[in-house]
Structure formats: C-alpha cells, structure tokens
Amino acid sequence: MKKAAGAGSLLLVCLVVFGIIGVCQGGELRKNFYRDSCKSAEDIVRSITWKNAASNPDLPAKLIRMHFHDCFVRGCDASVLINSTAGNKAERDAVPNLSLGGFEVINEIKSELESRCPGIVSCADIVALATRDSVSFQFQKPDLWEVLTGRRDGSVSIAAEADLLLPSPFANFSELKKNFNDKGLTVKDLVVLSGGHTIGVSHCTFFSNRLYNFTGNGDQDPSLDPRYAAFLKTKCKSLADTTTTAELDPGSFRKFDSHYYDILIENKGLFQSDAALLTNKGARNIVMELRNQDKFFTEFAQSMKRMGAMNVLTGTQGEIRKKCNVTYQ
C-alpha cells in the first residue's frame, strides 16, 4: 500500500490514542469522515437510534453485542449483517449470533442514508455510530465516546469463522486472553469490554451448566454465589431451558454503569467468562479499579475505540453496500 502524505503523523496518533499499532493497520479512520460527502450522516444515525432507544430500552445491549461480534470476526466490516445464501451460511446464522438483535434499526438508518446520500455511508460505520448513540441515549449526550469513521463494508461472511473466533461465555481466563491478544487487544481491554455486560440479558443456555452440571457430574459451579445460584435456578429450571432469560447485571440491567464490577466481586457474574476475570490477579485488580464509575466510563471509551478500529477496511478496500444485509461483490 502506497504511503500517503502525513502517514507518520497518523502512526503517532495510533500510538498515542490507541496504545498499540495493530488496530490502525486497516487504514485511515478519522473524525467527521462524511463532513463533505454526507454532512448530516452522523445526525441521521443519532436521530433514528435515539428514536428507537426511546421505545426499546434493550437496544443499547443489542447493538453493543452486534458491534462486538462483528469486530471479532474479520474486523469491523459489518459482515455480521449479511444474510446467508443457498451457497453460504453467513456469520449471522452462526450459533453465537442467533440471538443477536437490532438489525431492523441498522436497516432503517441505512435506508434513510441511502435516500439522502446514496452509496456513501458504510454499514460498518452505521453499526459503530449507532452502538455509541444507543448507549449515549441514557445520558442524553451525543458522544459518550468518540467514533472515528471511514470504514468500508466487507463482502465475506462465513458462519464457521464466527463459531471459531468469537469469545465464548464458557471460556476460562487463558482462552479469553488469547482471544483478545489475537486481535491486538490487552487484558485491560478484556476486563473493560466485559463491562458491556452491565446491560442486557442472556438465555439460560449460556450459563445453566454452572447451575446443574458444571463438571459433568450434576454439580454447581463453586465460584458462583450460592444464593444467587439458587435464584437463577428459579428462572432456569433445567439444562433443557433454551427460552428463558436472566439479567446480566441483576437490578441494573438497563442502566449503563459500573455496577457489573460490583456484582462480579460478589461472585454474581452470570457467565464463566465473567467469573474468569477474578482468577487472574492483574485482571482482578482492574475489576476493582473499574468499580469507580468515572474510571469505567473513561476506559470503556478508549477500549471501544480500539476495538472499533480492528482490521478495518478503508480507501478502496471492500464496498459500500446499498442494503446492509446483501453484499454486491
């Protein structure tokens, strides 16, 4: 790739802002990328996202999860939005993604943007912006974290890659650390981004083994608070329950805050991957620091920027889809 003028300055920004170089290798994301080509793009994304968040308080959790699942497979290229075809099972239909939601909001935003600025704004940027805006709605602030733009859309989406690459809710600390390290992210990013579990719910399928069959002998996970486990058993009555849901952050599952880290210290993290954060001294220390809400908000903003820059397509790479669920290459 030809080195552009000012590339040295860009590298410096990558080092200072992101802390690691790898996340900037995809190209030139920048602030206000659409200022000249579609001036109202970010306002349109925010307006439609806030309208939907007002009527659907679960939207922020859905979009955080969508953005995370997108970025961890082929980078932040909106490949998770692509529909399967007769000849290809896409990421969207991978087992970890079957419970994703919020697609209709992304489609609504894309439709409006195509009517105003056809062929300009990528679905990948829409996902990144709408995720930020949905969380920001609670605070009635437009920018809880900065989202750099200029991503382009990928044209490849393979379910098997999502099954392989997405961090598992059953993972131990070593597995999680490797998942994040492979993407150029740190243990700090792992602990901070796990804080996204401060909002949302999960189906029993993803944690009921901790209640009924943790080691394959009909036992309960000893690291789970016994009283909390007893409560969860009143909701998830067997390993066969695939429809019931439980709050990820009990009592605060629709409020974006640092409460997740409080319940984690109380051994009430819902997933094995949550509890795993306490099994490493360094990660546990970060958990303790993030109980300070201002600290959490600051660190979450930085980690979301790092994640949102992973392996992005820019320039002439990829495409700009007309519809987010269909690729044209």
**Residues carrying an active site annotation:** 69
DSSP secondary structure string for all residues of 79-94:
GGGPPPBTTB--GGGS
CB 76 within 8 A of CB 122: no
Considering just the CA atoms, what is the radius of gyration of the chain in Å?
Answer: 20
33 three-state secondary structure:
coil
Residue 257 and residue 151 in contact, taking contact as beta carbons nearer than 8 Å: no
Of 211, 203, 210, nearest to 243 by C-alpha is 203
Nearest of 175, 150, 172 to residue 33 by alpha carbon:
150
Tokens read off for 151: 């991503």
Q: What is the 3-state secondary structure (H, E, C) of 284-323?
A: HHHHHHCCCHHHHHHHHHHHHHHHHCCCCECCCCCECCCC
Collapsing DSSP to helix, strand or coil, 133 comes out as helix
Q: Which tokens is 318 given?
A: 């990829």
Tokens of 148: 């750099």
Alpha-carbon distances, residue 182 vs 71, 75, 240, 311 (angstroms): 12, 12, 34, 12
Of 214, 239, 204, 192, the C-alpha closest to 99 is: 204
Burial of 294 by CB count in 10 Å (0-12 exposed, 13-18 middle, 19+ buried)?
exposed
Which residues make beta-bridge pairs with 201? Answer: 247
